[in-house]
Structure 1
Amino acid sequence: LKANPMARALRLDKMTLAALEATMRVYLQGGRDGDARASIPTLRMLTESADEVKVRAESLLAQLREMVPADAATLSLVPEISRAGGGALPMCDIPTYAVRLEPKQATAQECARYLEQQCEPPIIARIHDEALLFDARTLLDGENEIVAQAVARALS
């Protein structure tokens, strides 16, 4: 501490060390069920194969086709790239699948605004070429139905 005054400011206390230890145990031992991917959603999202994501995307597409009238939007499954990294400069491209929704009676921006501001929890979609993209990699189990219901409300 005498050699470097920053050492005191950056020193970890017992609570921080305990939290760090618990986090590392989950990563190394997999949490309660022995599977770290199941315990840590971000880890699952980063390591899941494109084929696993495609299954979830196909499920979301099927639910949207059931709930959204054909005259309200064009729906399709598209290969995409998820980007992982910090802030404004994502560094890692990950192959994924997304459901592409092109609204026919409103703009993509209007639909996105509704999903972000009027839904609880807010639903975030990317906008590309006047269409909303719902990246299935970012959806947790059980969220497909929530997204489909919200989109149906947004387009009604």
Structure 2
Amino acid sequence: MQQGILSILVSNHFGVLTKITGLFGRRGYNIKALSVGETENPEVSRITVLTEGDPAQLEQIYKQVCKLEEVRAAAILPEEQLIERELLLVKVCPGEKETGALMELVTNSAAKAVAVPDGGVIIEASGRPEQINELVERIRLFGVVELSRTGVTALQATGKALVDNAFQIGYSKFR
């Protein structure tokens, strides 16, 4: 199985996310990560879905999503043109002797640390999912209290918008 990132532009109104995730559930497709937010146009939201399957399954997911009325444009983002990021927040309560090593790890990882009143530290980092996975494993040594990840968000590394690419490479229609 391979992973695929589906970028979907939808009308920004109540119930659209439920329709998208419901489609995945009804068809038995797994959502590994999901992020949603408004675009530069407040009437449009971008849904980024990390899913997995063989190439035929990924194509089938894409085709099913494109059939939904609220979908304005969609694409399976090509891996070679993919810019993807994830945000991590992790709370750690290191001992006095461990604080220096934790801060060195934070600095070397291009992360940020914020002290919390009870002696803990919240670390913020963003990067590719593999980088975040690696950082989480290294931070676990300091005793993770809580952890939150946003899931992947991504854009195609081209000079055109998704709706422009949809016309040119046949990804979807634009309504």
Alignment TM-score, normalising by the size of structure 1: 0.29
Of the two, which has the highest radius of gyration? 1
The structure with higher relative contact order (CA 8 Å, sep 6+) is 2
Alignment TM-score, normalising by the size of structure 2: 0.26
